[in-house]
Structure 1
């Protein structure tokens, strides 16, 4: 019996090839996008869910409340890690981690140098109790108990000591250079995690090494008021201890150690291990965005709903053509359940075909958007969770898409169906009403996507054309070794400046434009009073202004006198000073001492154009120069120039590597996220329009074929082709017009929210709303007009010969 259902269903699908193709293509696109999004969500939520007792593991976060300004940091002050185990009741283990970046590693005994490496950290013994590891060598009970010990992972083992037995590695010494030189003895080797994890560190130096080397102050671990994101504290709570009880204990600790705070308040919070991947990362990177995941889920759901609506729309329209089939089946004894099962079998075959094609499409989409996805992301098609998804999703999609058309077909009355009656005598037809509304809904969604893409594209084009206030072309910059000393940095700058293809080189604490920001409070004398406010600070040398093309409005450039500073126009406005000349020669207090203002700069955007220009001060502190900016000459060979810069760098820093970045490319990265949103919405709008267009193609093809006799009679009575085209297209023009009205407000609201994220933005482009609506109207008229033209050109004698 079941075999017979599917055999008949297969024959029906082959008999209606156009309908089958439209259904399979539309559903496959929806399935492909949903399958990809499912894997993205699964990947994001798979991080660190394999740890024992994971639901009892937390990270400490620190929160500052200054009234209108509230800040939250995934970090803990150094002293908290020392007292937490004693003063917070209900916890089993406490583990401390201090992350390091770009630490130089070497093996002195073998004269091996590995350059600067990430994934190196300080850790205490409790860290491996909170987050256990598999030990390949060493004693986990005694490891990291003493200063100058280190535990390495398999990856580091293969890097440092390839092909050496584990027993020969234990006891060897590694040298790390960060704030100081650390000689550490290897006391353990651990296995790397095979699962997805944010704990990707490979070298763990004993935490007590910091205290032994008297570097608590350097690493910011000496004070309760120093909050450093590198300082992380994890703990495992006891069984049955609730998060609310732990929070009460943390509140008591904060109240004890921050009782004397005069401004604002500091408190501690809990971050469950399950939230770590979505929070600020362990290596200063932003975690996965839950908002983006929600957005992807919404987009996927919309695309799939459009595909399902397409199916329902076309199937209910074509149900009329199967009325006699239903009548015969019921006359021969078929009941409603059997008929519904027959039609659902057809739907299931369509979904099955769409699923297979959808898997192909998902792979193509993955390759297209690979750069948008996390590193290491894959779609294991044969993984258990994907197989379950495919099966259950296919069944659910069959029911959602097929149940209403099946009910419509199964409810036809056999006596009326066999007489050829296609609808009741009532003037209102629910089927027609539903089809029109589904068509309107499809085009509404397509219109929202399309107009948003146009608005975002216009804003990004506007941003790229705006002057930033400095020269960004042909400027490269690179980070110098951390705390390597001003003497070497100055030598490198001098060598670079003498190169024939270089117009200038400068040292500073940062590039002229970056995501980083240094702010400080400043005191400015105004009349007989003193005004205090926050200002952005850049640590630069005297060549910085010339290399970056910063324009001076008054005064002069900096000399090598460290008591001199430059300020910008916005600084004057904040201080209430009307004239640039007025501030020249006056002393402001910043950085712990008085500084003389020798020049005023024209305002420029040192950060994204989403932000307003801040008051800014250029000052000089050579001890903290760690970036070199180089202005290259015009018409040079860039590859040769960069090679020359690297060779000079190697001569000064023989054990280091350097990576020069083009300033204009880095500035473009400010808007990468918005560019990605535009591209994703653009792809979504293309899919939505394609699905809607296919649905309209199939629906108009069927409905116009139902009106062939009417069209033929009108032609005989003298109607022109233009009149017939206008008659048929009028209804669809009205539907698209209604779609535009429905799409207008949500599109306006979403566009307004996006544009308001920029301080410098275009006005609301209302013309683009009309352009988007007209584009879909032209598409609609084109699809319907093509069918109408064929119908209008048909021979009435052929159509009416049986009448």
Structure 2
């Protein structure tokens, strides 16, 4: 019986190739996108889901509330890690981690140098009780319990000691250079994680080494008020312990240790281990939950459009199969048998669409590979993907096929065999449904299309706005951390002497970057004192010239460490009436008294999504770790960068440098918005393609039903134009309704997006009209072609059987 069902279904699919092709193409696009999104989401949520008791592991999050400015970041003060297990009931074990990226590693005994690495960290014994690993050598019970011990992973062991046995390398010495030299002894080797994990670290230095080397102050782990994102604190709760009690305990710790806090309010929270990949992954390759949620919504909409397409066309063409149903029922066919028969046809189409969808998903993957995590691949025939395809195809078959199957199975045989295809009433639910489904399809297409135009306009506006400094032909690079001001100054001088370099400047970061350093400042005005938060930048005297910043009043910085520059926004917040009034004023900054010697014109140091903050520019040469270089015009960039790297190697023979173009880094501020625009652009093309195919099939079928009417009108003198207008009128009304329905959600989405920018375009109402016009043109083109062909048909061929 089952074989017979599929044989008949196969014949019916071959009988109407256009209908079958439209269904398979539409469904395959929906399946391809859903399959790809499923793999992206599965990949994102696969990180660190393999740890034992992972559902009870959390990371401390610190929140600072300064009134108008609020910050939340996954970090903990050093002392909290010492008291958490003692003062917070319900904590089974806590583990500390202090990340030290860009750390130099070497083997003194073998005189081997491995350069600077990003996979080195401080860790305490609790960390390995939280995140267990397979031990390949060493004693897990005593490892990291004493200062200057190190545990390395198998990958590091193969790098440092190729070909040696793991037990044989225990006791050997590794030298790490961060702020100072750290001599460590290997006490263990652990296996690297084979699963997806954000814990990328391969070298674990005992946390107590910080105290042993008297570096608590330097790393900022000595004070409750020093909170550094490098200092991470994890803990595992006891079984069945309520999270409300954990939060209550953290609040009590805050009240105890921050009772005298005046400038703001500090509180502690926590986030689950499953959130690590979405909030602050250690390799900076985390996933954006907002983007993933957007992908899920877009994938769902496109799949719904494909299903609506199927339902719309199948219910329309169900009329043509009325006699088939009548004969089957007359010969004893039951309703359930007919439903199963028609679902079999749907399943065959979904099956073929799934196979075509895999091809489409591979093409889409290649087109958007740069948007995906590095190394992301799809194993198409893995157990998870096969299960997804099987369950998804069955679910899709039922959702898209059940209504048309019920419509067909409910035809009355006596009326069907007489050729009565519609009910006697004037209202037809089938026609009503088809019109509304068409409206929904084009409404979604309209929303996608207009949003692409809005985002594109905003991105064009952002790229054309002056930022207040020269961003072209400026490169910057990070210097070896704490390698000394002497070497940094020498490299700056050698760079400045090159013929193609117009200037070089040292500082704490580039003039525009995603990072931010803030501090409170107190400014005496008349008899009062104004206190507010300001952005801080560590710069040298060449900063103004290299970056092309305008100095409105005063002079540049000199060698005096107490001199500072400020921007115009600083003057406004402090209450100065003019730049000249601020010159020579004394302000309390960094617990010291500083003198304002110059005022800069405002510039955007961050993205245009944010307002310009008050800024202070000061000099701290010991903390210079970025060099910015202004290149001359018309130079050979490749040769110029090569010369700069050679000069760097002469100053830092064991280091590497990576130059970045400032204008390209500024574009990264809007990278996610550009991704959203391109994804929406792709989605709008797919949505319009699916909607267009549906309209093509539906108009083809409905026009075929009206061929006799068209022929009679033509005989009675109707022109081709009149026939085109007659047929297109109904579809024109549907598209106008779609445009009207799309107006509000499109306006709301566009307004929400634009409000994320401080500097933005006005609401582009014209683009709403352009989007509607484009949609209307597509509809009229599809329907017009069918109408024109119908109007050109010889009436004699249509009416010869009458």
Same fold (TM over 0.5): yes
Alpha-carbon separation, structure 2, partners of 1:583 and 1:271: 45
Q: CA deviation at 1:722?
A: 0.5
Aligned residues: 802
Q: Secondary structure of the equivalent of 1:110?
A: coil
Is 2:285–2:373's contact at 8 Å kept on the other side of the alignment? no
SS of match in other structure, 2:536: strand
Give me the whole-angstrom Cα distance separating, in 1, the residues matched to 2:431 and 2:494.
79
Determine if contact 1:280/1:286 at 8 Å carries over to the other structure. Answer: no
Deviation at 1:437, TM superposition (A): 0.3
Gap regions ≥5 residues in structure 2:
none
- Which deviates the most, 637-646 or 121-130? 121-130
Cα deviation per residue 1:733-752 (whole Å; 9 max; x = unaligned)? 11100000000010000000
The alignment status of 1:240 with 2:240, answered yes or no, reads yes
Alignment map for 1:680-699 (pairs within 5 Å) = 680-699=679-698
Residue in structure 2 matched with residue 291 of structure 1 by the alignment: 290
What is the aligned partner in structure 1 of residue 546 from structure 2?
547
Summarize deviations over 1:142-195 as a string: whole Å, max 9, x none.
Answer: 111111110000111121112221122111110000121001011111000111
Q: Which residue of 2 aligns with 1:164?
A: 164
Cα distance between partner residues in 2 of 1:236 and 1:443: 51
The equivalent residue for 2:198 is 198
Which residue in 2 is equivalent to 1:737?
Answer: 736
Name the residue aligned to 1:338: 337
Q: Distance in 1 between matches of 2:256 and 2:682?
A: 55
In 2, the alpha carbon distance for the partners of 1:198 and 1:146 equals: 26
Shift of the 134–272 alpha-carbon distance from structure 1 to 2, 3 Å rule, reads same
Contact 1:477 1:662 in 2 (8 A): yes
In structure 2, what is the Cα distance between the partners aligned to 1:200 and 1:620?
A: 35
Partner of 2:122: 122
- 1:544-574 deviations in Å (ceiling 9; x for gaps): 1111111122233223333332222222222
Distance 1:577 1:223 in 2: 35
| 2:302 corresponding residue in structure 1 | 303
Is contact 2:124-2:145 (8 Å) kept?
Answer: yes
What corresponds to 2:466 in structure 1? 467
Deviations 1:671-697 (A, max 9, x none): 101000000100111100000000000
The structural deviation recorded for 1:511 is 0.8
Cα deviation per residue 1:224-276 (whole Å; 9 max; x = unaligned)?
Answer: 22211111222223333332333333333333323333344433323222222
**Alignment match, 2:617:** 618
Counterpart Cα distance in 2 of 1:494 and 1:253: 51
Q: CA deviation at 1:70?
A: 4.1
Q: Say whether residues 1:493 and 2:475 are aligned partners.
A: no
Pairwise mapping of residues 361-440 of structure 1 onto structure 2 (< 5 A)? 361-440=360-439
Q: What displacement does 1:65 show?
A: 3.9
Distance 2:142 2:552 in 1: 64
8 A contact 2:250–2:268 mirrored in 1: yes
Q: How does 1:786-797 map to 2 (within 5 A)?
A: 786-797=785-796
CA–CA distance in structure 1, aligned partners of residues 570 and 208 of structure 2: 45
Deviations 1:613-633 (A, max 9, x none): 112222222111111111111
| Alignment of 1:41 onto 2:74 | no
Q: Distance in 2 between matches of 1:237 and 1:662?
A: 46
Q: 1:483 to 1:56 in 2, by over 3 A?
A: same
Structure 1 residues 602 and 358: CA distance shift in structure 2, 3 A: same
Aligned to 1:478, what secondary structure does the other structure show? strand
Partner of 2:216: 216
Supply the distance in 2 between the matched residues of 1:307 and 1:545 (Cα, whole angstroms). 57
Q: Which moved more, 1:252-261 or 1:197-206?
A: 252-261
Are 1:26 and 2:31 counterparts?
no
Cα distance in 2 for partners of 1:308, 1:328 equals 29
* TM-aligned CA deviation for residue 286 of structure 1: 7.5
1:110-130 residue CA offsets vs partner (Å, 9 max, x unmatched): 111111100111111121111
User: 1:100: how far off?
Assistant: 1.0
The 5 Å alignment of 1:320-339 reads: 320-339=319-338
CA shift, 1:66, in A, is: 4.3
Contact 2:36 2:365 in 1 (8 A): yes
Change (3 A) 1:236 1:336: same
Name the counterpart of 2:502.
503
Q: Separation in 1 of the partners of 2:780 and 2:145?
A: 77
Report the equivalent of 1:712. Answer: 711
Work out whether residues 134 and 191 of structure 1, in 8 Å CA contact, stay in contact via their aligned partners in 2. Answer: yes
Answer yes or no: is 1:350 the counterpart of 2:349: yes
Report if the CA contact (8 A) 2:200-2:282 is conserved. no
